[in-house]
Amino acid sequence: MIERLLVPIDGGALDERAFAVSIDLARQLGAAITGFIVEPFTVAPAPRVLVAGPTTPWTDVALQAHAQHVLGRFEQLAREAGVPFHGVATQASDVSEAILAAAEKHCCDMIVMATHGRGVIAELLWGSNTRQVMSRTRLPVLVLH
């Protein structure tokens, strides 16, 4: 039985489709949604003097604001539809690994992902997070194109 959907989003053009389909699916299944956004680590300009120190997550306030805005929109739509929602934002260098870790951490039973479907050449050049997730998880993955 599917009780929790993980829905990775990125703030792009495909998000509205992911919102609509996952909310409809969750409503039909009586499931909750964990909305998930992965922001990249920011690369700071090289300092003139190297100072050793720990790195801190969310070093870029704009990335954090972007993630909260996108998750807020998703949460609003889910709540209006009566679907329980939990939003999670993180930073990671490997998006597919972060998605897999989130699915496990939040006890998700299914992953719903939108993909650009760029084709074989583009996948070779830039990779495909969707393909990486599909090949490395045992969970069902619904791919929206």
Does pLDDT of 84 surpass 90?
A: yes
Q: Measuring CA to CA, which residue among 42, 78, 85 is closest to residue 62? A: 42
Split into its structural domains, the chain has a count of: 1
Give residue 126's pLDDT. Answer: 47
- 85 assigned to some structural domain: yes
Give residue 63's pLDDT. Answer: 85
CA-to-CA separations, 60 to 11, 16, 37, 53, 114, in angstroms, rounded: 16, 25, 15, 17, 26
- 36 assigned to some structural domain: yes
Q: Which domain holds residue 14?
A: 4-20+28-40+57-144
- 84 assigned to some structural domain: yes
Give residue 25's pLDDT. Answer: 98
Does pLDDT of 116 surpass 50?
A: yes
Rounded CA-CA distance 132/114 in Å is 13
Q: Measuring CA to CA, which residue among 84, 81, 132 is closest to residue 111? A: 132
Q: Are 31 and 25 in contact (CB under 8 A)?
A: yes
Give residue 88's pLDDT. Answer: 97
List, as one string, the DSSP characters of 32-62. Answer: EEEEEEEEPPP-PPPPSS-------S---HH
- 98 assigned to some structural domain: yes
We report the CATH number of the domain holding residue 8 as 3.40.50.620
- 46 assigned to some structural domain: no
Give residue 53's pLDDT. Answer: 45
- 49 assigned to some structural domain: no
- 93 assigned to some structural domain: yes
- Is the overall model pTM greater than 0.75, yes or no? yes
**Tens digit of each residue's pLDDT (9 = 90 or more) over 90-101:** 999 899 999 999
- 132 assigned to some structural domain: yes
